[in-house]
Amino acid sequence: MVIRALTFILTYFIISSCFNQSEDKHEIERKEITPDSIISETIQTKLRSQISEPFKVSNIDRLNFTSGGGHYGKQNELCDSLENDLFGIYYLIDENSSYNSGSPVGGTITVHINGKMTSWRSDDTTQTIWKIHLISDVISVWDSLKVGLTKNKIVKFGQVNNGLCIEKEGFDYLCDFGNFSAIYKFENDTLTELTVTRNCKNQQE
């Protein structure tokens, strides 16, 4: 009888110990899932997002522009994946822009050039768009964004395309889409200036 009672007591303590260990494990798991970890994972997911090219290089040749190019070492400092530091700039002509700024240039498209500078042509589909800066609606990027839009439309675009967007000191609005970043400037909730820049591969990792 005594042996049976001792067996029952030992069995109870073993089961109780296993139950407590299971509870402790679940408690640890609950502690690991915190608001900070959820926020961190959300940010990492957004930074891994990849948006499409902002403008088709095949369409550059159809634009009204002047151009120039050369070696731009400073733009290449953070981009170890580039084989050279040759960049070309298209100055986009917008006659309507001259009424406001005194200059017919409504924006610029900076491209990275593969091969030699002497062989660079506007219809070269191997050139890579590196930066787009707009102060007029001379072109739109991502087939939808252009100078003159409301801030509400810009915000919605960032949400739909999984951008990590913030209002930052020195900028009106900044969005990171993983492979591209966009800086927006507004006046009275109207977009007046837009800069889209390709992020270097080592900045995306």
pLDDT in tens, 146-171: 999 999 999 999 999 999 999 877 66
Domain count, the chain: 1
31-45, 62-76, 150-164: the lowest-pLDDT one: 31-45
Question: If you average pLDDT over each of 30-39, 42-51, 92-101, 106-115, which comes out highest?
Answer: 106-115
In a domain, residue 46? The reply is no
Overall pTM > 0.85: no
In a domain, residue 18? The reply is no
In a domain, residue 39? The reply is no
In a domain, residue 33? The reply is no
Q: Return the DSSP state at 131.
A: E
Residue 17 has pLDDT above 80, yes or no: no
Looking at residue 34, what is its pLDDT? 52
pLDDT, greater one: 73 or 179: 179
From the list 199, 186, 95, the residue with the least C-alpha distance to 145 is: 186
In a domain, residue 14? The reply is no
Helices (H), the chain: 2-32, 35-47, 73-76, 98-101, 151-160, 201-204
Residues 89/112, Cβ–Cβ less than 8 Å: no
Mean pLDDT of 88-97: 90
In a domain, residue 19? The reply is no
In a domain, residue 51? The reply is no
Domain that holds residue 105: 57-204
In a domain, residue 139? The reply is yes
pLDDT category at 205 given cuts 50, 70, 90 is low
